[in-house]
Chains A and B, each alone.
Chain A
Amino acid sequence: MQISWAWGAAMTHKIGKTLVKGGGISGIKASLDLAQAGYQVLLVEASDHLGGVTSQLDRQFPTAGCGMCRMLPLIDRDQASRHCLRRGLFHENIETCLSTDLVSVQGEPGDFTIALQQQTSQVNPALCIGCGQCEAVCPKEVPDPFNAGLTKRKAIYRPCPQSFSYAYAIDGNACNGCRACGEVCPTHAIQFVAQERETFHVLVVDDEKIVRDSMKEWLTEEGYQVHTAASGQKALDLMAENHFHMMLTDIKMPGMDGVELLTRAKALQPDIAVVMMTAYAAVESAVAAMKQGALEYVIKPFAPETVLALVDKRFGEFAAANARKETVDALILASGSDLFTPDQGINPYGYGRIPGVVTSLEFERMLSAAGPGRTQLVHPVTGRQIQRIAWFQCVGSRDLTYGSTFCSSVCCMISIKQSMLAKTLYPQVADACIFYMDMRTPGKDSELYADQARQAGVDFVRARVHSLAPDATDPVAGIHVRWADLSGKMSDSRFDLVVLAVGQNPDTMMQAFAKDHDIDTDAWGFVQSPPFDPADTSRPGIFACGTVTGPKDIHASVIQASAAAMSAMETMAAAGRRTLSADTAPSDFAMAVEQPRIMVAVCRCNGLLAKNLDMPEEPAPFCRFLAQDPEVVQVEMADRLCESAGRQMLGQKIEACHPNRLVVAACGPCMRMDKIRVLAELANLPVRCVAAVDVMACAEIRQDRESVKVPGHEPGRQAEPDVAEPKIQGIPRMYHMKARQAARFIQTGISRVKTMSLNKGTGEDVVCRALVVGGGIAGMTAALAIAGQGYAVDLVEKQAVLGGNLVWLHPGPGEGRTFLEQQKEAVLSHALIRVHTQTLAGGTTGRPGQWTTRLIPVPETKESLNRAGTDPFEKQAVKSIDKQAAGSSDKPVSGSSESFVRHGVVVLAVGGTQADPGIVTRNTGPGIYTQQGFQQILDNGKMDTQSPLQVAMIQCWGSREKDRNYCSRVCCPRALEQALFVKDLHPDTRVMVFFRDMMTPGVSEDLYTRARQAGIVFVSYEPGRAPVLDADDNGCRITWLDVILGKTMEMIVDYAVVATGVTPQLTPELAGSFGARLDRCHFFDQADIKWQPVEALQPRVLACGLCLAPGGLADCLATARAAAARAVAILSREQIRPGRDMARVKTALCSLCQVCIPACPYGARQIDSLTRTLVIDPLACQSCGICAAMCPSGAAVVDGLSAGHMLDIIHTTLSDVRQGDYYDPFTQA
């Protein structure tokens, strides 16, 4: 009864659907998170490829490689394609619309009506096989935007060099309409369908020929279909034959006048829009015509723009009516940002004028193997090797003259990465020099990376170059750079290349969209998020992530994308939407054990197969050769499998022979997951029983190798069918090498389906309960988000009260405090959240996903209650108590109230505290505070506000060096806030801030500007030369070496505030009990800093807040919601099913020697303590196969990559190399 009710409820609820605008990194991540949680996604991208600007960046820091594929789903991974994301993204739950604009959004959360407009494609993506013949014949060459204009491409082009998934596209602006491409296209994919404007018919009626002709010229140039008529009657005659969308008519005409024509035209075609053209004299009649239904009138003489604006407007309405309408529940805006173009304004660096001045994006393409220099780093004009490169920071950001007062956040790290790459990849690069104002390396890994760059020989020069001039001796290839260092000494140098680190600017299209849709933007034009909702916008149900909300790096974008996905899930849950339950696993176990009956279908590809592989149309010996395999029941030649007609033909053949495996040999695009899926449906087989082989690739491989001289072999020998050799064992000698190679390729496909995994299709059950360790704001936010999706949560907090650092950060009434109280109230009153305060989590047992964790009550001590908000200078004793508390977690306290919780995921949110300042002065005295202690003085109003004060703030105290070599991100903004607050108390108060680099990335740069304007003095110091504090009972003296002034200065201060940064509270024991680790700075070690930023290698272990990475409140909230999104994706599954290729243990053979456990780089293997067997976590295993190589007894295997299959592949690859095999490998004994 209960089951039928649940079924009924599920049927009545719609499946949640979210639209994601923008297919860059954030858009892809948000889509994948939603898709993994079982919601439907409509991914809309305005350009012709996914990946956004990241698709143009080949390598990212810190790995100097690309890890985009690490975003691919681990949960039900077979739902998605498992290849490089630059090649394309396919997921069952994601519908991707490329070259599509989101035109309008109406409605409210849970019921948005959206209109999508797709640019008309001249190339049919379903038919295009990407052979590139069209490109070869296209006569038109234009600068390639993908290579930032550094190379040329044809008017018909492949949108992204790595893609095999995307069809070619025609650049409408560049195409000259010669149609040469259409003639050579083997699949007739190029259709020259009318552009949208060509379908818009305009009728111009005027008795003056010159008016008719000029109007026709103007409108035709804009792409409209224009007809003309000299009189009213002729116009009506034309209207009888054609349908017109718009008519422009003169009023005064002999015979029938314009007003009468209007009446009669409206009678004929009521939806026609009519514009009256009139001279001054007839304005009254024009007004009368308006009353009769004319759209508008224009007074002669008029400028072309006047009429064009009217036609464009009407066309817009016409196009909107044709747009695709959809209903979605939520929207995520992720359409990215623009880059500053440095040739605007005064252009002091001569971008566009001096040949060697390039932007960072252009340099990124120069480093790429698909870029202009291929594998060489050469000057864009002279083509000479580049030896000396300079990077200029803050071009178009932190610049008040352009209105870009924010910091672009990413340029410093991009320049460091580029300099490292240039130095390491190209030995000829002798000099790499970065000119900067503040080297902004926020976050936990950036500082170390900058140090590595210094060690690699990259020069960091704190100077701003004012302008550039070509070098006097070598004006084309050389650039003369002159700068003043901090002491005022002038230097100059010659560089071959200057890279301008251009800033991210808000996208103007997005600004217009936001304005039209009541979405608030900030002063610069970025979409503004409310203070405590890191991915929300001012409009409910619409969320934003990535650089739409401000300049951001990949790491922050990916986190915010997950947070936005979480918000969208909440909206959909609130609207009562359900998730797609993953299709019940097909029972392919029976199919896997039964004798394979393989059918091979070879697609003729419209004759292209024969042409490219030099073999006949009906290659009977070829088919016979493939049919030699006893398990191959049939080899069929098919044609045009990309079209439904071709597939139907194949379907009939399949029905005739009932295979249980299918191998399709066709072109590259047929390997796309969506196409394989269609074929699998056709054959009524599980997807894993179908293999696709790209035989067209053989054509290319051969072309490269044909130059190899082989005795007796004549390259390019024409093929002839061999009918005179009936007892054929291999492919006849007459066949070209390409055909042989193709046959071998197909054999690997056959071997793949033969050795398909014996997967039972059942996974392990998910324990639908989450454990959140840490009751700070991050932990509470994560708990609320998970519980909001209907999953039970246990929240464990060591302290007696929830709130963590927010308790001391917001002690008094205010926005922050209200938010904290609201969250606390929500957590405590939530039915699905069990809160355990004064409790430690410890002693976890069980395997991943089936953990049982012991919750141990902490004995209540007086000090532990007071711990929050103590200043180390006031209470040195706290440390020892802290140690006692930490010790108690190792030895569980035996108590009756101890409990156990069984959970499937864990979110570590234990937070962080202010770092210990260590020994600050030789003498101790009053007046020296940490930031936290000073904040308490300010909050309690203990400060003397009557007289002006002297305040010194020292940043980076003990951080960004030695064992805490990371920037804590929070101290600089906090110091600025405190300085401004103090300055407000008394205007004559003098505040000095001593800094190494002011870390105010993004819009917090505004705070820095305000502090400067308020008269706060900033003094920079070098590492190792920090200001010295000297204190006694009389006061505190600060002494520093001022590099700019060139002398040692001193000041007596009332308050000296040291910013010590954040230190995480995560213990290795806690992380280790779930199989996670700490990184070198004692933060949570992420699986991947950029692409999997909140997960450990074991994806069920998540972290957020300060124990994950240092950051402000907004960062903590974003990570908390991102972690929750990942947790929900796991909990939403009833079962975690193993993927198609997955490591497996043959338990009977396994001797439990355990060599495979440490060998697994993903920590996927464990001994189940209950059953004493080796178990593999299907979420963590990446099927790398190391375990199979390590196992001494052959117990570790990887399904889908069996030894037999791998040997087949090796044989195929190497058979060319073996001399004896070269001719006819199949006839060898």
Chain B
Amino acid sequence: MIPSPKPEKPAPDPVLSARVAQIKDLVASCIQCGTCSASCPNLCFMDMTPRKMWRFLLCDRVEEVFSSDTFSMCSSCYVCTLRCPRGLPLTRAMAGLKQIGFHLHMARFRRAGLFYGAFMDNIAQYGRVREMEMMTRYFLALKDPLVPLGYAAMGVRLLAKNKLRPRLPSRGRGKLAHLFEPLDPQEQ
């Protein structure tokens, strides 16, 4: 029989629900046709299809959304946005989810957040990515000596093919700071 009229849900985090609500509005008119999932080039790296993740989001199952790393695998190629018959800004919604994961310091997205952080620092300093330096900073931030070992073999192969050029880091913040400053409030 029916145990209780309504199960008591734990009170959701107000900050989280407010931000999730914004993203939910972006994809509200989704008809779950699956175009995004079929067209996603990174689908094989995702633990659930984008369609399933949007479905969880629309059903207010936020915990399921943030227990998956689907959105962190989005490489912003915009194919799904271009193909979506409803014209939904799916890439923007993906980015929004990434930001939530990053700003709320969710443990699951620590690595992804640190990677994006290292990437953006590199960009802010040089205007482009210096792979060696970016990865070094990323590994330092991770504070886990085992992680670099996993990349060692690939690093050696890339070096052998002359795809990586070790350079000493430049000093200072570079001259691009004024380009990024106006964006900071938006990022927050």
Contact = CB atoms under 8 A, between A and B. Distances in A.
A1046 B29 contact: no
Contact of A1045 (B4, B6, B29, B56): B56
Query: Chain B interface secondary structure, helix, strand, loop or mixed?
Result: loop
A482 B38 contact: yes
Interface in A983-1002: 990
Interface in B54-111: 55-56, 58-60, 79-80, 82-87
Contacts, number: 103
Q: Which range contains the number of A residues in contact with the other chain? A: 35 or more
Closest CB pairs A-B (n = 6): A466-B39, A488-B49, A464-B33, A484-B38, A400-B87, A1012-B29
B55 to A, nearest CB: 5
A1035 B2 contact: yes
Nearest to B82: A346
Contacts of A437: 31, 33
Interface of B: 1-2, 4-7, 24, 28-39, 43, 48-49, 51-52, 55-56, 58-60, 79-80, 82-87
A394 B2 contact: no
Interface string A478-491: 00001111101010
Contacts of A464: 33-35, 38, 85
A1052 B38 contact: no
B6 A1052 contact: yes
Interface string A460-483: 000111110000000000000011
A1015 B24 contact: yes
Given A488-B37, A1045-B52, A1052-B4, 5 more contacts: A466-B36, A466-B79, A488-B51, A1015-B24, A1036-B2
11 contacts: A399-B85, A401-B85, A463-B34, A465-B38, A484-B49, A488-B48, A990-B60, A1013-B28, A1035-B6, A1044-B55, A1046-B52
Given A401-B84, A1017-B59, A1035-B2, A488 B32 contact: no
B85 A490 contact: no
Nearest to B81: A401
A1044 B38 contact: no
Interface in A483-534: 483-486, 488, 490
A1018 B32 contact: yes
A1015 B37 CA distance: 21
A1037 interface: yes
A1015 B28 contact: yes
Nearest to B56: A1045
B124 to A, nearest CB: 34
Contacts of B86: 399-401
A488 B51 CA distance: 8
Contacts of A398: 31, 85
Contacts of B28: 1012-1015
A1009 B2 contact: no
A1071 B29 CA distance: 46
A486 B84 CA distance: 16
Interface centre among A399, A400, A1032, A1037 (most CB of B within 10 A): A400
A950 B7 CA distance: 12
Given A1012-B30, A1032-B1, A484 B6 contact: no
A582 B7 CA distance: 77
Contacts of B6: 950, 1035, 1052
A1012 B60 CA distance: 14
Contacts of B87: 399-401
Contact of A1013 (B1, B29, B33, B59): B29
Given A464-B38, A488-B48, A1044 B85 contact: no
A1042 B52 CA distance: 10
Contacts of B37: 484, 488
A1035 B5 contact: yes
Nearest to B49: A488
B29 A1037 contact: no
A1052 B52 contact: no
A1088 B52 CA distance: 45
Interface centre among B33, B56, B84 (most CB of A within 10 A): B33
B109 to A, nearest CB: 22
Nearest to A404: B85
A1008 B128 CA distance: 46
Interface string A937-952: 0000000000000100
Contacts of B34: 463-464, 483-486, 488
Contacts of A859: none
Contact of A467 (B39, B43, B85): B39
A24 B158 CA distance: 68
Interface in A161-205: none
A490 B46 CA distance: 13
